[in-house]
Chains A and B, each alone.
Chain A
Amino acid sequence: MKNTSLCEHIGEQISGFLDGELSQQESQRVSVHLSQCESCSQTYEQLKQIQGAVSQAYYPNMEQQKMNAVLQDLTSKRMFDFAWFAIVSGVLISVVFGVYHFWLDSSIPLYSKVVMSLIWGGGIGLFLTVLRQRLIISKTDKYNKVDL
């Protein structure tokens, strides 16, 4: 049977039909055409065969042990992140409470409040700088850390 303009029009919808990706209306139109056109219905059958063969193609799994190691990485990294988050927020909360109580304590003279604040403020500043550097390293280093 000769290709008609309808065949050209149907064209790629044969694949859409095969994959169940057409609207009901389109799918009906293709179905009617396939029942009437030998050439298109032959193409459809061939594509269906190819689809079956590709779906059965054999590709090996990744070794289970290796896959487990990779997935473990994924879960342990999550716990690591959570632990960091817990430590940092714990430290922040205790610092805020400590400063609050320290400044409200009337038995401590003002000059020692100022000196202690400077020392502690410097210490915390150092801690935050180191923390920030660690975070930057862990972000930029992500491709180097994947070796097991």
Chain B
Amino acid sequence: MQDTLAKVTQGAFKLALQILGQTADAQDVLQDSVSIAIVHKSAPKSSSVDFKPWFYRVVRNKSIDKLREQKRHQSDEFDDHVDHELDSKLALDPEQAAETTQLNLKIKAALAVLPQQQRELVLLKDYHQMSYLEIAEVLDIPKGTVMSGLHRARLALKTLLTETVGD
């Protein structure tokens, strides 16, 4: 049971990392979210299948709160915030660089340019392997909009990737 729990929390940590781009921030979010899981009486048992989407949702919301907080602090650099985001997404960790293939870099760079929700849709489906129902729960959107949003996100990603392949 501890193993599956660790799997969920590691996955959730990566989601926070994907949204925030910084290991330290993602760790803060994960700790906050665990303490919410402890305090909240409505939290599903950590051994149940409902725990994963519930916990991902908490982590996702906490990450976005943190992101907004950070954006507010650096609003004077607003103009180049896309480049900024891209940089922080690419420079995740120095030790990671060795394991980073070129395709990996390209995908991450393209993902970083996508609008927030499109990026989340693609990552929740293709990286975290969640079902449409679970994704709807994490993002708090109707299940019927997951497929169309995801498709639009993938087409945008495809355009970005075929553009960068050219050079």
- Contact flags A73-113 to B (C-beta < 8 A → 1, else 0): 11001100000000000000000000000000000000000
Question: Is B56 part of the contact surface with A, judged by Cβ < 8 Å?
Answer: no
Secondary structure of the B contact surface, majority rule:
helix
Cβ-defined contact, A60 with B38, below 8 A: no
Number of B residues, CB within 8 Å of A: 54
- Could you tell me which residues of chain B, from 6 to 45, have a CB within 8 Å of some CB in chain A? 6, 9-10, 13-14, 17-18, 23, 26-28, 30-32, 34-39
CB contacts (< 8 Å) of B164 on chain A: these are none
- Could you tell me which residues of chain A, from 41 to 82, have a CB within 8 Å of some CB in chain B? 43, 46-47, 50-51, 53-62, 66-67, 70-71, 73-74, 77-78
CB contacts (< 8 Å) of B93 on chain A: these are 60
Can you sample 18 A-B contacts with CB below 8 Å?
Answer: A11-B151, A12-B150, A19-B150, A50-B157, A54-B123, A55-B127, A56-B104, A58-B96, A59-B18, A60-B92, A62-B10, A66-B27, A73-B34, A73-B35, A78-B38, A142-B35, A143-B32, A145-B35
Cβ-defined contact, B122 with A13, below 8 A: no
* CB nearest to A139 among chain B residues: B39
Cβ-defined contact, B126 with A21, below 8 A: no
CB contacts (< 8 Å) of B162 on chain A: these are 46
* CB nearest to B152 among chain A residues: A12
CB contacts (< 8 Å) of A27 on chain B: these are none
Given the known interface contacts A74-B38, A146-B31, the answer about A54 and B126 at a Cβ–Cβ threshold of 8 Å is: yes
CB contacts (< 8 Å) of A12 on chain B: these are 147-148, 150-152
B interface residues, Cβ below 8 angstroms from A = 2, 5-6, 9-10, 13-14, 17-18, 23, 26-28, 30-32, 34-39, 46, 92-93, 95-96, 99-101, 103-104, 107-108, 111, 122-123, 125-127, 129, 131-132, 147-148, 150-152, 154-155, 157-158, 161-162
Partner of A71, one of B6, B32, B129: B6
CB contacts (< 8 Å) of A146 on chain B: these are 28, 31-32, 34-35
Partner of A50, one of B23, B35, B95, B154: B154
* CB nearest to B37 among chain A residues: A74
Given the known interface contacts A15-B151, A55-B127, the answer about A71 and B2 at a Cβ–Cβ threshold of 8 Å is: yes
Bound-state Cα–Cα, A54 to B92, Å: 16
- B104 CB → nearest A CB, Å: 6
Among all A-B residue pairs, the 5 with the closest Cβ atoms: A12-B151, A54-B126, A15-B151, A62-B13, A59-B14
